[in-house]
Amino acid sequence: MSEALGIPQARPRWILQAAGWAVAAALVLLAARRIDLPGLSAALRGAQAWPLALAVLCNVVANTLARVRRWEALLRPLPHGPRRAGSFDLARLLYAGYAVSNLLPARAGEAVRVLGLHRRRGYPVAGLVGVQLAEKVIETLSLGLLCGLLALTSGPGRLPLAVGGALALGGVVLLLVLPRRMPGIEEAHGKVAAFLQALLGALRTVHARRSWLRSLLWSLLSDTTDLLLVGLCLRALGIDAPPAAWALVLFTVNLAILLPSTPAQVGILEAGAVVALSAAGVPAAPALAFALAYHAVHLLPTTALGLTGLVLPWEPS
């Protein structure tokens, strides 16, 4: 994506890909040496099918709706070509981005979303990047608010959940009190400077129109769905844990995958889930079985639907 933005690439893409796969392979080898493989196998064989099937359905239907609407709310103030991106356009690009990120390291799918809307619907690249940055902030705030709410219930990990909730609430208040209109930046020259100007302008537009408020509500629905997926996968593995433990898992997993790393965050996501469940008193083997099931609920349908979306024809602008 850096070439499309007029910024030269700092290093060949294949180096990032090779590094991602190397990290994934190292994590798999480390896990194979330290995990009780017979116990893990037994936990996976004993998993119930219906909670996993329901989790996949909730992810594909409710989570897709919430994430598409969240993205759509942030895109609404941006200029575009003759035709605005519809819900189907956004859903296919959302899944296409997931599929590419699942197969390549460093979240390469983020570029698919930007370039797809730029080429097919005429949105400015800088505006789309600004929307992605705003979306990351919204995701963080909504997750923190949900975790803070569940910190009021009984269960493990209430302190980190409460801290996350307090920080998120402070972030929402800060956004609300910031002025909607901010002074313009100084005149700059060059492609990079022009891109940064447009990027900042897009962020100001999103803030001025209060589009992030609608996006935050949809993001809360997405995070609530993700929390339900955690509960369903725990139920499938026969792990009894309170909702506060579900939130701790969701919080820790999202913290673990905060930075781009391996393809599909393989190994990183599992490590975060195992750490959270271990803090809740769950043995390592069933904890890893849960992590694998939870990851598969996200990974398999998003990859299949995303690859399908990549080959479907686009309607003309």
Looking at residue 276, its pLDDT comes to 92
| Residues 208, 227: Cα–Cα separation, whole Å | 31
Looking at residue 25, its pLDDT comes to 59
Residue whose entry in the numeric block shows the structure tokens 């983020």: 110
Any long-range contacts for 163-172 (C-beta under 8 Å, 24+ apart)? Answer: 164/251, 168/140, 168/141, 168/142, 168/143, 168/144, 169/144, 169/145, 171/137, 171/140, 171/141, 171/144, 172/141, 172/145, 172/216
Helix (H, G, I), strand (E, B) or coil at 77: coil
Q: Any idea where the domains of the chain sit in the sequence?
A: 37-311
Average pLDDT per 10 consecutive residues for the chain, totaling 317 residues: 42 55 58 69 91 96 96 91 92 93 83 92 90 91 96 89 95 81 52 66 71 92 97 96 95 86 83 90 91 95 91 78
- 111 and 185 Cβ atoms separated by less than 8 Å: no
> Positive or negative, the Cα torsion across 52, 56, 57, 63?
positive
CA nearest to 262, candidates 95, 102, 100: 102
Looking at residue 266, its pLDDT comes to 83
Looking at residue 232, its pLDDT comes to 97
CA nearest to 252, candidates 279, 228, 229: 279
